[in-house]
Amino acid sequence: MFRKILIANRGEIALRIIQACRELGIRTVAVYSTADRDSLHVTYADEEVCIGPPPSSQSYLNISSVISAAEITGAEAVHPGYGFLAENASFAEALEECRIGWIGPQAKSIRLMGDKSKARQTALEAGVPVVPGTTEPITAVDEAKRMAAEVGYPVILKAAAGGGGRGMRIVQDESQFESQLETASEEAERAFGDGAVYLEKYLVEPRHIEFQILGDRFGRVVHLGERECSIQRRHQKLIEEAPSPALSGDLRQRMGEAAVRLAQYVGYQNAGTVEFLLDQDGSFFFMEMNTRIQVEHPVTEVVTGLDLVKLQLKIAAGEPLEVGEGITARGHAIECRINAEHPETLTPSPGKITTFHPPGGPGVRVDTHAYEHYVIPPHYDSLIGKLIVHGADRQEAMVRMERALDFFVIEGVHTSIALQRQIIQDPRFRSGEFSTRFMERFRMIPAEAVAQGA
Ligand code: ADP
């Protein structure tokens, strides 16, 4: 096992990695920008190195600074967390050249899956169904229009290099096709430096279901069941749960087998997530593969009893996977992402937290880097914590989540807690029958109306 690793991240995930390392007896090196001097990941790591000014382009995304920090501290490997450099194949390669380990999949897997259109082709080769559409990026408008007509409108245009819910455009009919294609390509160029766009059929009421997979260096791949991630806003997840209320045992088995087949086909190592869209008729389609630990990994940990970050470290250190086949979920887990944001405008709400009181009690887990008097810097994403609950069944998990949200007190900044509470109480959420369009129809009740008992 490693003796010392560097964590190329910040916030709750950096702390989460420190926790796993501490339990495995691995020393940790934190890197931080000058905006994060007072962050808990800096406090709890065994060593820390300042890598630059607040903008992430000059600190957390600065490959040479991160590698220098690993070299001067003698870290044997780097854990990238999620976001920042986690899916940067060049970073993984640069580390290899410097003989520093990488706690993640091989660079070739990152590169292959990072290009969504190549990932689609690979899934097809592996015999995994993909959403009908083009397998190559669009080069000729006429041909693309013909393809769109063939798969049927509405269609969705996606940036091949896209991610984080960005770079997608829905086209309702042929009259909008050209203008939307132009916008999509321009947006992709601006956001990802790559204007390549492909098209897929737009499924009208799908669910987002993803499978957690693990692969070791000896070719063994297992899946740890699914996560239901259909509660999204602007294509970004808000609430995740495990298991999905939509899967029968048979469907779970078929989707899990497809996820494992794809991972095996590409010789995948370490933790990864295979994302599917599940249509109303029960057909499922590969959407993309994320080659890193996910924000929502705790729901899988809670129902399987496994520590995914420890498993990532063990796999990267060359240990064989000791996880059995066909792991089944025990009980039900729900996660709410707690963002520091204004509930109505949905804009980030950085600043000083004046009161911070997280919930506790049976079946409650809080992954956060926040604390009382912590100042949330304006430079990074607005996730300040994750509230995860475990119940004997979905009903108990929902009641527990409501209670935990009620007991979660954060003052000084706006948060998504009130919004999450209303979603958990929504009859359609309760019923378990919803799609990725849930939030489009959801209307938050303003705080004043709640106070008056509306
Ligand atoms: P990103 O990599 O940016 O997260 P994804 O390809 O994972 O993008 O898609 C994010 C979300 O967008 C999905 O969870 C789903 O809600 C929606 N989406 C993507 N593709 C389609 C599609 N073909 N039909 C309907 N919704 C889609």
Any domain includes 292: yes
Q: What is the model's pLDDT at position 454?
A: 47
Q: Which of 201, 228, 255 is the last residue of a domain?
A: 201
Determine the atom of ligand 1 nearest the C-alpha atom of 287: 6
445 Cα to the center of ligand 1, angstroms: 27
Residue range 290-312, pLDDT digits in tens: 999 999 999 999 999 999 999 99
* Sign of the CA dihedral with 22 first, then 27, 32, and 34 last: positive
Task: Evaluate if residue 336 carries a pLDDT over 90.
Answer: yes
Read off the pLDDT of each residue in 200-204 and give the average, rounded to a whole number.
Answer: 95
163 Cα to the center of ligand 1, angstroms: 9
Percent of the chain with pLDDT over 90: 89
Question: Is 369 found in the same domain as 430?
Answer: yes
40 Cα to the center of ligand 1, angstroms: 33
Any domain includes 123: no
Residue range 185-195, pLDDT digits in tens: 999 999 888 99
Question: Is 348 found in the same domain as 438?
Answer: yes
Read off the pLDDT of each residue in 434-453 and give the average, rounded to a whole number.
Answer: 84
Give the residue, out of 235, 274, 291, 434, with the most ligand 1 atoms within 8 A of its beta carbon, to mutate for a pocket test.
Answer: 235
Question: Is 225 found in the same domain as 310?
Answer: yes
Any domain includes 377: yes
Which pLDDT band holds residue 135 (cuts at 50, 70, 90)? confident
Q: Cβ atoms within 10 A of the Cβ of 205, count?
A: 12
Identify the residue with better confidence: 224 or 161: 224
Q: Give how far the C-alpha of residue 309 lies from the chain's centroid of Cα atoms, to the nearest Å.
A: 14
- Specify the CATH number for the domain of residue 266: 3.30.470.20
Question: Is 322 found in the same domain as 406?
Answer: yes
Question: Is 341 found in the same domain as 228?
Answer: yes
Structural domain range at position 233? 207-451
Q: Is 200 in the pocket of ligand 1 (CB under 6 A)?
A: yes
- Specify the CATH number for the domain of residue 63: 3.40.50.20
Q: Is 436 in the pocket of ligand 1 (CB under 6 A)?
A: yes
Q: What is the model's pLDDT at position 43?
A: 98
Give the residue, out of 208, 273, 295, 439, with the most ligand 1 atoms within 8 A of its beta carbon, to mutate for a pocket test.
Answer: 208
Which pLDDT band holds residue 176 (cuts at 50, 70, 90)? very high
Q: Cβ atoms within 10 A of the Cβ of 191, count?
A: 16
165 Cα to the center of ligand 1, angstroms: 7
Residue range 35-89, pLDDT digits in tens: 999 999 999 999 999 999 999 999 999 999 999 999 999 999 999 999 999 999 9
Q: What is the model's pLDDT at position 453?
A: 60
Q: Which two tokens stand for residue 355?
A: 């009161």
Question: Is 303 found in the same domain as 239?
Answer: yes
128 Cα to the center of ligand 1, angstroms: 17
Question: Is 350 found in the same domain as 409?
Answer: yes
Q: Which two tokens stand for residue 366?
A: 């809080």
Residue range 204-245, pLDDT digits in tens: 999 999 999 999 999 999 999 999 999 999 888 999 999 999
Q: Is 120 in the pocket of ligand 1 (CB under 6 A)?
A: no
Nearest to 274 by CA among 197, 282, 283, 285: 285
| Residue 269, φ and ψ in degrees, nearest 5 | -120, 150
- Is residue 292 flagged as an active site residue? yes
Read off the pLDDT of each residue in 98-104 and give the average, rounded to a whole number.
Answer: 98
Q: Is 276 in the pocket of ligand 1 (CB under 6 A)?
A: no
Read off the pLDDT of each residue in 354-358 and give the average, rounded to a whole number.
Answer: 98
Angle of helix 116-125 relative to helix 107-114, nearest 10 degrees, comes to: 100
**Residue holding tokens 């009620």?**
406
Q: Is 159 in the pocket of ligand 1 (CB under 6 A)?
A: no
165-114-261 Cα angle (round to 5):
105
The 3-state DSSP class for residue 167 equals strand
- Specify the CATH number for the domain of residue 184: 3.30.1490.20
Count structural domains, the chain: 3
204-208, 344-348, 363-367: segment of lowest average pLDDT: 344-348
Nearest to 64 by CA among 36, 90, 30: 90
87 Cα to the center of ligand 1, angstroms: 18
Task: Return the residue whose CA atom lies nearest to atom 9 of ligand 1.
Answer: 165
- Using CA atoms of 288, 290, 291, 295 in order, give the dihedral in degrees to the nearest 10: -170
Residue range 379-388, pLDDT digits in tens: 999 999 999 9
Q: Is 273 in the pocket of ligand 1 (CB under 6 A)?
A: no
Nearest to 128 by CA among 263, 227, 221, 222: 263
Question: Is 428 found in the same domain as 324?
Answer: yes
Q: Is 206 in the pocket of ligand 1 (CB under 6 A)?
A: yes
Which pLDDT band holds residue 328 (cuts at 50, 70, 90)? confident
Options 16, 27, 292, 365, the catalytic residue: 292
Mean pLDDT of all residues belonging to the chain: 95
Q: Which residues contact 452 (CB under 8 A, 6 or more apart)?
A: none
Determine the atom of ligand 1 nearest the C-alpha atom of 204: 25
Q: Is 232 in the pocket of ligand 1 (CB under 6 A)?
A: yes
